Structure 1
Amino acid sequence: MNVEILARIQFAFTIAFHYIYPPLSIGLGLIMVVMEGLFLKTGKKIYERMTRFYVRIFALIFGIGVATGIVMEFEFGTNWAVYSKYVGDVFGSALAAEGIFAFALESGFLGVLLFGWSKVKPWVHFLSTVMVTLGSMFSAIWIVVANSWQQTPAGYHIVGSGLDARAQITDFWAMVFNPSSVQRITHVWLGAFLSGAFLVLSISAYYIRKKRHVEFSRKSLKISLAVATVCALLQLVAGHQSADVVARYQPAKLAALEGHYDGTKAADMYLFGYVDQKNNQTHGVSIPGGLSFLTQGDFKKPVAGLNNFKPEDRPKAVNFVFQTYHLMVAIGMFMIALTLYSCFLWWRGKLFDKKWLMYIFSFSVLLPQIANQVGWYSAEVGRQPWVVYGLLRTSKALSQAVSAGNIIFSLILFTWVYLVLFGLFIYVLNKKIKHGPYDDENLDHSPRHIEMADSLG
C-alpha cells in the first residue's frame, strides 16, 4: 500500500474508535439530566439512584473518550502536515473555541457531578449535570464546524501557493455557519442522543430479563424509550435536511450515495442494492425517480450523476459509500419502527410483556453506534478525492517526510493499545452493569438530600 492509503486507514481507525465514546457521553448526559430533573421535581429516591448509577458509567465513557481523542491531534502533524498547514487557521480557531467554551465548562463541573452529592445542594448538583451535558454538546459543535468547513468551505481566502498555501479566515461567523454546519450539528447531536438512550434501554432490558432491580429498570427504560422515540423521528427530518445540503453543495457525493451515474435522467432512490463500478451501473430495488423528487420535488427532473464529473473528481469507492449510506438509513428506519411499536405497547400497558422485545433492547445499543460509524464513513469517503472539498486533494495533503513503514509501525502500535483500552472498557462497563445500582441504604442521606426530598414529597 502507498503512503496515502495507509495514512487514511490509520486516521479512519483512530477516529472510528474514538467516536464510540463521545456520542455515548453526550446522549447519556441528556438522560442523566432528565433523571435528576425528575428527582428534583418528585423527590423520589429512585430517580436519584438512576442518576448516581449512570454517572458512574458516564465517568468511564468520558475518561476513555478523552484518552482516545488525543492521538488524532498528533496524526495531523505526523501524517498530514500539508493539510495541517492549509487548515491551521480554521481549525485553530475552532479548536480553541472548543477548549474555551466547551471543554473548560465540561471539565469544570465534572468534579461536582462525580463527587458533589453530599457536598452541594441538590439543585447545584443538578446544575453541574446540565453544565457537563452542555459542555459535551458544545464540544461537538466546534468539532463538527471544523469538519463541516472541509465539506462546504466559507468565510476564507487562500494565501500563499504550493506547499505554503493556507486558508485564512476572513469572516469567523461565516466559517462557523458554513452551508452545512447547522444541519450536520443537528444530525450529530441526535445520533448522540440515540446512542445514550439505547445504552440505557439496553441496560434496563438486561435487568428486566434477569428480574433484577425491576422497578428501577422499568422506570429508566420508559425514560430512555421516550427520548429515543423523539430523537429517532427528529433524525429522519435532520437526515433529509443534511442530504439536501449535500445535493446542493456536493453533487458528486450525492451521486455516489445513491449510485447514480447518468446525469441526463431522473435519479432513482435505491432501498438496497449494489454498485457495479466496472460497468457504471447500480442494481437493486428502487423507487423510480425517488431521488429526483426528494431533491427537486419532481419525479422526472434529472439529477447530476457521476458521469457528469471527471474520474479524478469523484469518489473511487462508490459501492462502499453506497452500502454504508444505505445501512445508516436502514438502521435509522428500524429504530423508528422499534421505538414507535414499543410506545404503542407502552400505551396498551403491555410493554414489559414481550420477552422478545427485551432481548432486542438488550442488544439495541449497537444500532446507533453502527449508524453513527457508517454515516461518517459515507460522509468522509464520499468527499474524496478532496480533503477540503474543491480546494485541497487528499493526495496533496500528506506529510512529505513520512514513509509507509513509519505508518505501518504506528498503526500496529495503536491497534494494540486501542484493543487493550477497548477490552478494559468492556470489562469495567460489564462489571458496573452486573453490580447494578446501589441499594437505598447505600445512598447518601445527608441532611440536605433528606430535606430536599421531604420538601418536594
Structure 2
Amino acid sequence: MDVEILARIQFAFTIAFHYIYPPLSIGLGLIMVIMEGLYLKTGKKAYEVLTRFWLKIFAVTFGIGVATGIIMEFEFGTNWAVYSRYVGDIFGSALAAEGLFAFGLESAFLGVLIFGWNRVSPKVHFISTIGVFLGSMFSAVWIVVANSWQQTPAGYHIVGEGFNARAEVTDFWAMVFNPSSVDRIIHVWQGAFLAGAFLVLSVHAYYLLKGRYVEISKKAFKIALGVATIVSFSQLISGHSSADGVAVNQPAKLAAMEGHYQASAPADLYLFGWVNNDTQEVSGVSIPGGLSFLVDQDFEAPITGLNAFPEEDRPGQVNAVFQFYHIMVSIGLFLIALTLYASFLWWKGKLFDKKWLLKIFAFSVLLPQIANQVGWFAAEMGRQPWIVYGHLRTDEGFSQEVSSNQILFSLILFLVVYTILFLLFIYTVNKKIKHGPYDEAKNPNEFLKYV
C-alpha cells in the first residue's frame, strides 16, 4: 500500500482512539466542579460521594488519555518529517504552551484531587478540582489552536524553499487567534462537556433502571441533564458560527459538506443524502436554497461550489465528508430534542417516570463520542488535499525515508496495544460502575446521609 495512505491511516487511527478520552476528562471535570461546589454549599453528603465516585473514573480516563496522546507527537517526526519541519515553529510554541500552562496545571492539581480528600481543607480540595478542570480546558485550547492554524494560517511568514521551507511565527497572538480558532475551541469544549455529561446520564440512568442508588442517582442525573440541555442547544449556535467561518475561509470544504458542485449558484441544505462524485449529483432530501439562507440570509444567494476550484484542489472523498458532517449534525439535533424533552418532564415532576426514556439515556453515552469523531473526520477530510491549507499539500508532508512496511508494522502494533488499553479501560470503568458510589452492603440506615 502507498506510504502516504498508510501514514494517514495510522495517524487517523491513533488520534481517533486518543480522542475518546480528553473530551471525557473535560466533561467529567465540569461535572465534578458542580458536584463538589454543591457539597460545599449545601453540606449534603450525597454530593461528596458523587464527586469521589466520578473522580475515580476521571483518573482512569486521564491516565489512558495521556498514554495514547504521547504516541502522536512521535508520529510527527517518524511519518511526517517534512510537515514537522514546516510547522515546527508554529506547533513548537503552541505545544510548549500546552505543556507548561495546561498539562502542568492539570497534573499538579490532580495529585491533590486524588490524594487530598483527608489532607487538605474542603475549600482547597475544591480549588484543586477547578484547577484540574481548567487545566484540561487549556490543554484543548492549545491543541485546537495548532490544528486551526493548519486550517486558517495567520501570523507567520515562510522561510526557505522546497523541502526546507518552514512557517515562522511573526505575530504570536495572530497565530493563536487565527480566523477559525475561537469558534473551533468553543465547539470542541461543548462537545467535550456533552461527552462527560452523557456518561454521567448513562450510568445513573442504568442505576435508576436497576433500582440501585436511586436517590443519589436522581441528583447526579439532574446535574448532568442541566449541563447537557444548555450545552447541546448552545452547540448549535457555535456550530453555525463555525460553518460561517468555513464559508469564508475554506469554501471548498463547505461545498463538500453539502455536496454543492456548481461554481456559483444557490445551494440546497440537505437533511440526508448520498453524493455521486462522478455525476456530481446528490440524492436525498433537501431544503431548496437552505445553505444559501444560512450563509447569507438569502435563499437565492450564490454559494461557491466545488467546480470553482481545480480538481486537484478539491477534497477527494466528497461523499465521506458529506456523510460525516451530516451524522454530526443529526446527532446534535437529536441530543437537543432529547434533553429538552427530558427537561420538560423534569419541570413537570415526571422525569423519572418513563423507563423508556431512561433506557435511551443509558445508551446515549455513545452519541456525543460519535459526533465528536465524525466532526473531526469532516473537518480534516474537508481540508484535503492540504495539510496546511493553501500552502503545503498532504502528499508533500510525509517522510521521504520511511517505508510502507515500517508504517504497516507499527500500525498493527498500535492496533494491538490500543485494543488492549481500550479493553482495560472498559473493564476498569465497568468494575467501578458495578461497585457503585458506595457500598450497598452497609446498614440501610447509613443510606440516609447520602440523600
Q: Please indicate the TM-score interval, normalised by the length of the shorter structure.
A: over 0.9
Match of residue 446 from structure 2: none
Write the letter of the residue equivalent to 1:162: G
State whether structure 2 residue 99 is matched by structure 1 residue 96: no
Post-superposition offset of 1:159: 0.2
Q: How far apart in 1 are the matches of 2:90 and 2:38? A: 41
**Which blocks of at least 5 consecutive residues in structure 2 are unaligned?**
443-448
Q: Name 1:448's counterpart in structure 2.
A: none
Matched, 1:384 2:384: yes
Cα distance, 1:114–1:441 mapped onto 2, change above 3 Å? farther
Q: Indicate the residue corresponding to 1:170 in structure 2.
A: 170
Alpha-carbon distance in 2 for matches of 1:227, 1:265: 40
Are 1:186 and 2:163 counterparts?
no
Seen in structure 2, the aligned counterparts of structure 1 residues 175 and 317 have a Cα distance that, compared at 3 Å, is: same
Give the match for residue 247 of structure 2: 247
Equivalent positions of 1:36-47 (< 5 A) are 36-47=36-47
Could you tell me how far apart the structure 2 residues matched to 1:73 and 1:96 are?
Answer: 12
Structure 1: distance between partners of 2:233 and 2:163? 46
Taking the aligned partners of 1:217 and 1:207, their CA distance within structure 2 comes to: 7
SS at match of 2:285: strand
TM norm structure 1: 0.96
Consecutive unaligned residues of structure 1, counting only runs of 5 or more, are: 443-452
The one-letter amino acid of 1:218's match is K
What are the residue-to-residue correspondences of 1:143-154 with 2, within 5 Å? 143-154=143-154
Q: C-alpha separation between the residues in 1 aligned to 2:392 and 2:269?
A: 30
The residue matched to 1:283 in structure 2 has which SS? strand
- Tell me whether 1:286 sits opposite 2:286 in the alignment: yes
Distance 2:7 2:261 in 1: 29
**Matches for 1:369-380 after TM superposition, within 5 Å:** 369-380=369-380
Q: Distance in 2 between matches of 1:248 and 1:55?
A: 42
SS of alignment partner, residue 240 of structure 2: helix
Q: Name the residue aligned to 1:234.
A: 234
Amino acid at match of 1:20: I
Q: What is the SS of the residue equivalent to 2:196?
A: helix
CA distance in 2, matches of 1:416, 1:441: 39
Equivalent residue for 1:196?
Answer: 196
Distance in 1 of aligned mates of 2:164 and 2:255: 33
Deviation at 1:265, TM superposition (A): 1.7
> Aligned partners of 1:52 and 1:96: how far apart in 2?
32
Q: CA deviation at 1:263?
A: 2.3
1: CA distance, partners of 2:2 / 2:309: 25
Q: Distance in 2 between matches of 1:65 and 1:101?
A: 18
Q: Residue 441 of structure 1: CA displacement? A: 10
Secondary structure of 1:353's partner? coil
- Give the Cα–Cα distance (whole angstroms) in 2 for the partners of residues 187 and 115 of structure 1: 33
Counterpart of 1:149, as a letter, is W
The one-letter amino acid paired with 2:301 is K
Aligned Cα root-mean-square deviation (Å):
1.1
CA deviations over 1:67-99 (Å, ceiling 9, x no partner): 000110110001000000000000000000011
What per-residue deviation string (whole Å, max 9, x for no partner) do you get for residues 289-339 of structure 1? 010111111100110000111110000100000000000000000000000
Q: Helix, strand or coil for the counterpart of 1:261?
A: coil
Query: In structure 2, what is the equivalent of residue 10 of structure 1?
Result: 10
Structure 1 position 419 matched with structure 2 position 423:
no
Within 2, Cα distance between the matches of 1:101 and 1:417? Answer: 30
Partner residue, 1:313: 313
Secondary structure, counterpart of 1:275 in structure 2: strand
Number of the residue aligned with 1:268: 268
The CA deviation at 1:264 is: 2.9
Question: What per-residue deviation string (whole Å, max 9, x for no partner) do you get for residues 243-279 of structure 1?
Answer: 0000000000000000000123200000000101111
| SS across alignment from 1:285 | strand
Inter-partner Cα distance in structure 1 for 2:103 and 2:438: 30
Offset at residue 141 of structure 1 (A): 0.2
Counterpart of 1:118 in 2: which secondary structure?
Answer: coil
Amino acid at match of 1:187: H
> Greater CA deviation, 160-169 or 275-284?
275-284
Please give the per-residue CA displacement for 1:216-269, whole angstroms capped at 9, x wherever unaligned.
101000000000000001100000000000000000000000000012320000
1:45-84 correspondence to structure 2 within 5 Å: 45-84=45-84
- Determine helix, strand or coil for the equivalent of 2:264: coil
TM-score, normalised to structure 2, is 0.97
Alpha-carbon separation, structure 2, partners of 1:225 and 1:380 = 31
> Which has the higher mean CA deviation after the structures are superposed, 25-34 or 296-305?
296-305
Residues of 1 paired with 2:66 and 2:93: CA distance? 20
Measured after TM superposition, the shift of residue 30 of structure 1 is 0.1
Shift of 1:438: 2.0
- Show CA shifts across 1:162-183 (max 9, x none): 0000000000000000000000
Partner secondary structure for residue 303 of structure 2: coil
Match for residue 409 of structure 2?
Answer: 409
1:134 aligns to 2:134 (yes or no): yes
